[in-house]
């Protein structure tokens, strides 16, 4: 990454995954903006982050957070996905937009239920339009692992999908800065694999008593 770190905004940043990612990026020095549907919740989460790292972080409503971020992450329940995108779409034009949303449909969260578009990532790209570089990542990371003090998080590889290869590369490098092994996983349509795998991992967590199963890509790359 460049010496001047981009400001990262987290839409739905008070939930487990959003707050965990924010914590991990704050830990390595990124400016962070926490967004929430309710500004008061975002402010409280930002105050907690500020107290932990003795630096100032901002909390605000989702639309203001989307406006403030150089790179915008979204982690919201699937049921709120479309309405959230519609509310912030005008604020993310020209930006990299990292969607971590998984199409979980309670109560059957251990069953794969992909949307009509094929995957959430594709829906996001369709809704936001070509001016937004949508990248899909972090669906298979257990939130419980994120606030670990460990420098690296083994067994939590991150497939990164998106139609813009340069945007994918930015997110791959971001993931590696916070201790993950990240991989280019092809165009946005391929996000269907990571999204579907989340339900499989939830099933395995329950079946085998695993505290946050992840994935690991085998093999040794011979080219970058």
Say if 148 falls within a structural domain: yes
Judged against a pLDDT cut of 60, whether residue 42 lies above it is answered with: yes
pLDDT score, position 148: 87
Say if 149 falls within a structural domain: yes
Render pLDDT for 85-126 as a digit per residue (tens, 0 to 9). Answer: 999 999 999 999 999 999 999 999 999 999 999 999 999 999
Render pLDDT for 18-34 as a digit per residue (tens, 0 to 9). Answer: 999 999 999 999 999 99
Q: 59: domain range?
A: 8-208
Please state the domain count of the chain.
1
> Which positions ≥6 away from 219 have C-beta within 8 Å?
none
Q: Which residue has the tokens 């309710």?
A: 38
Judged against a pLDDT cut of 70, whether residue 2 lies above it is answered with: no
Say if 65 falls within a structural domain: yes
Which has the closest alpha carbon to 153: 131, 168, 175? 175
pLDDT category of residue 128 using cuts at 50, 70 and 90: very high
Judged against a pLDDT cut of 50, whether residue 16 lies above it is answered with: yes
Render pLDDT for 144-177 as a digit per residue (tens, 0 to 9). Answer: 889 888 888 888 999 999 999 999 999 999 999 9
Here the CATH number for the domain that contains residue 193 is 3.40.50.720
Say if 220 falls within a structural domain: no
pTM: 0.96
Judged against a pLDDT cut of 80, whether residue 80 lies above it is answered with: yes
pLDDT score, position 164: 98
Mean pLDDT, the chain, integer: 95
pLDDT score, position 154: 81
Say if 111 falls within a structural domain: yes
pLDDT score, position 106: 95
Say if 1 falls within a structural domain: no
Say if 222 falls within a structural domain: no
pLDDT score, position 78: 97
> Which positions ≥6 away from 220 have C-beta within 8 Å?
none
Say if 197 falls within a structural domain: yes
Judged against a pLDDT cut of 80, whether residue 1 lies above it is answered with: no
214 and 156 Cβ atoms separated by less than 8 Å: yes
């Amino acid at each position: 990454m460049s010496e001047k770190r981009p400001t990262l905004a987290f839409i739905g940043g008070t939930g487990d995954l959003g707050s965990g990612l924010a914590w991990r990026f704050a830990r390595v020095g990124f400016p962070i903006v926490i967004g929430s549907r309710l500004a008061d919740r975002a402010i409280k989460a930002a105050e907690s982050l500020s107290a932990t790292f003795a630096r100032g972080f901002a909390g605000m409503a989702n639309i203001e957070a989307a406006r403030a971020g150089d790179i915008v992450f979204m982690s919201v329940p699937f049921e709120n996905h479309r309405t959230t995108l519609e509310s912030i779409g005008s604020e993310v034009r020209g930006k990299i937009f990292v969607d971590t949303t998984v199409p979980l449909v309670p109560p059957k969260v251990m069953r794969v239920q992909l949307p009509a578009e094929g995957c959430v990532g594709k829906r996001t790209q369709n809704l936001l339009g070509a001016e937004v570089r949508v990248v899909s990542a972090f669906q298979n990371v257990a939130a419980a692992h994120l606030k670990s003090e460990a420098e690296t998080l083994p067994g939590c590889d991150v497939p990164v999908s998106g139609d813009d290869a340069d945007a994918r590369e930015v997110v791959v490098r971001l993931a590696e800065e916070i201790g993950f092994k990240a991989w280019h996983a092809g165009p946005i349509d391929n996000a269907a694999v990571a999204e579907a795998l989340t339900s499989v991992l939830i099933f395995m967590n329950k079946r085998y008593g695993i505290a946050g199963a992840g994935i690991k890509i085998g093999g040794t790359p011979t080219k970058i």
